[in-house]
Chain A
Amino acid sequence: MTIRRYLALTRAGIMESLQFRLGTFVTLLGNLLYIILVYFLWKAIYASAGTESVNGMTFNDTMIYLILATALFNFLEMFVVWDMSRSIQSGKIILDLLKPMGFRGYTFWSYSGSHVIMFFLTFLPTSVVVFIITKGAIPLGLNIIWFVISTVLALIVNFNIEMLVATLCLYTESTWGINIVKETIVLLLSGASIPLAFFPETLSKAVSFMPFRAVYDIPLNILLQKNGTECMSGLLPYLGFQALWAVGLTVLSMVFWNISVRKITVNGG
Chain B
Amino acid sequence: MTKNKRCLSFYARIYRKILIQDLKSKMSYRADFIISTFGMVLTNIAGFMTFYILFRNFPSINGWDYYHMLFLYGFSLTALTPVQCLFDNNWNLRSMVYSGDFIKYCFRPINVFFYFISEVFDAKGLGQLAFGIGTLVYSWNRIGLPVTPLIILKLVACILTGSLFMIAIMNFAAATCFWIQGSGYVMVIMFRFKDYAKYPASIFSGIFKAVFTFVIPIAFVAYYPSLVILQPENIPLLSLLSPLLGILFFYLSYRFWMLGVRKYDFTGS
* Residues on A facing B (Cβ under 8 Å): 19-20, 22-24, 26-27, 30-31, 33-34, 36-37, 40-41, 43-49, 54-55, 172-174, 176-181, 184-185, 187-188, 193-194, 198-200
Contacts and interface: CB of A to CB of B under 8 A. Distances in A.
A178 B180 CA distance: 29
Contact of A22 (B50, B53, B181, B205): B181
Given A23-B182, A44-B199, A198-B54, 6 more contacts: A22-B181, A48-B58, A177-B37, A177-B40, A188-B49, A194-B50
Closest 4 CB pairs of A and B: A23-B182, A20-B182, A30-B189, A177-B35
B156 to A, nearest CB: 28
B206 to A, nearest CB: 10
Given A30-B189, A33-B216, A37-B196, A178 B58 contact: no
A174 B29 contact: yes
B199 A180 contact: no
Nearest to B43: A184
Contacts of A184: 39, 42-43, 46
Contacts of A198: 53-54, 56-57
Nearest to A46: B58
Contacts of B31: 172-174
Interface string B89-122: 0000000000000000000000000000000000
B53 A200 contact: yes
Contact of B56 (A19, A44, A185, A200): A200
Interface in B52-111: 53-54, 56-63
B259 to A, nearest CB: 18
A31 B192 CA distance: 10
Given A26-B185, A34-B192, A41 B216 contact: no
A22 B62 contact: no
Contacts of B239: none
Interface centre among B32, B57, B204 (most CB of A within 10 A): B57
7 contacts: A23-B181, A30-B190, A41-B196, A41-B203, A174-B35, A180-B36, A194-B53
Interface residues of B, number: 47
A44 B29 CA distance: 45
Contact of B35 (A45, A47, A178): A178
Contacts of B254: none
B186 interface: yes
B131 to A, nearest CB: 14
B155 to A, nearest CB: 26
Nearest to B185: A27
Contacts of A36: 208
B185 A23 contact: yes
B193 interface: yes
B183 interface: yes
B251 interface: no
B40 A30 contact: no
B193 A54 contact: no
B11 interface: no
Contacts of B256: none
Given A26-B180, A34-B193, A54-B58, A48 B63 contact: yes
Contact of A172 (B35, B37, B60, B180): B35
B264 interface: no
Contacts of B211: 33
Contacts of A30: 185-186, 189-190
Nearest to A79: B184
A26 B196 contact: no
A47 B38 CA distance: 37
Contacts of A43: 203
A45 B54 contact: yes
